[in-house]
Chains A and B, each alone.
Chain A
């Protein structure tokens, strides 16, 4: 649920990093936190199991500067990817305006990616949101493992598994090294703000 505050000239929206456990969602937020100035971002809040697996969510608030005359502020959240945390995942999903799906390129995680995406669609539907309508960007993470001895999926395979239906914009990434992290963020922010403004404009209120 985005907020448009005419009083402060600010648009606020909520973006969720979704995806299978160990896929790299938290690593995305950590990289964003580490590479931004503290004038434009708040604290990185993590509710996790001793700095490791996400138990509830990570949270980072970020100012993206102005689009037209509006200050854009995004609230980034990660969900816990582990299957048995579905109840908390649903709580985090509340009021989502845009989603980044972080897929794990490791071949052994192939089924987990598919399951997580299906779980996302189900949880969104429960909230009355159509997964094909909400702004969505896919990120194929851990591409740095290409050429290592760990078997990874090809882009074509991931595309077929996850994006045949959505046809969403996608980025290859290495959240660990930072490749593709800001490209992903920029795209989802753009799509989300566009979606929010379109809905506002269509009501004849500018």
Chain B
């Protein structure tokens, strides 16, 4: 299965991510697929290697899902890592995609969760359309 992204698709995804960033106070968002490839990013990753981050995130996410499955859980409701300065929040977009949100103490987990939940719906719709169009691969 290959995914073809048009200018328009990328534009829509970026707008959704931008909107989420400005309303949540998070500073960077990445949209990646479950195999670890970066699709789109928004905000300021500063010196971060976003490509390596994407690969590691997908692996981490995959491992965590497997742990949930072994424990008889469907999935864990909250995936979040807290650091001294940086925090990372993960949201599942349908079955194939993940949104990674980076934020620091200028905002809160509560607000980030609220705003990401909203944009998850939007992104899920966008990707349903894209996948629909790419069917038959």
Which residues of A are in contact with B by a Cβ distance under 8 Å? 1-8, 12, 14, 42-43, 45, 47, 56-57, 59, 61, 75, 77, 87-88, 91-92, 94-96, 196, 199-200, 203, 205
* Majority-rule SS of B interface residues: mixed
Q: Are B5 and A6 in contact (CB under 8 A)?
A: yes
Task: Pick from B39, B49, B55, B63: contact of A3, CB below 8 A.
Answer: B39
* Majority-rule SS of A interface residues: mixed
Task: Pick from A4, A47, A91, A94: contact of B3, CB below 8 A.
Answer: A4
What residues on A are CB-neighbors of B114 within 8 Å? none
What residues on A are CB-neighbors of B59 within 8 Å? 47, 56-57, 91-92
B2 sits at the interface (CB 8 A) = yes
Closest A residue to B6 using CB positions: A6
Within 8 A of A (CB), among B104-137: 136-137
Chain B nearest Cβ from A35, distance in angstroms: 19
Interface residues on B, range: 20 to 34
- For the complex with contacts A94-B34, A94-B62, 12 further pairs of A-B residues with Cβ separation under 8 Å are A1-B3, A1-B33, A3-B5, A3-B37, A5-B5, A7-B7, A7-B11, A45-B56, A56-B59, A57-B55, A75-B51, A88-B63
* CA gap between A7 and B13 in the complex, in Å: 12
Task: Pick from B34, B52, B62, B136: contact of A43, CB below 8 A.
Answer: B52
Q: Interface digits, B37-69 against A, CB 8 Å rule (1 contact, 0 not)?
A: 111000000000101100110110011001000
Closest A residue to B4 using CB positions: A4
* CA gap between A96 and B34 in the complex, in Å: 11
What residues on A are CB-neighbors of B9 within 8 Å? 7
Q: Are A61 and B51 in contact (CB under 8 A)?
A: yes
Query: Can you list 14 A-B contacts (CB < 8 A)?
Result: A4-B2, A6-B6, A12-B38, A42-B52, A45-B52, A61-B51, A61-B55, A75-B36, A77-B55, A88-B63, A91-B59, A94-B36, A95-B35, A95-B37
What residues on B are CB-neighbors of A91 within 8 Å? 59, 62-63, 66
B10 sits at the interface (CB 8 A) = yes
* CA gap between A8 and B59 in the complex, in Å: 25
Q: Are A3 and B137 in contact (CB under 8 A)?
A: no
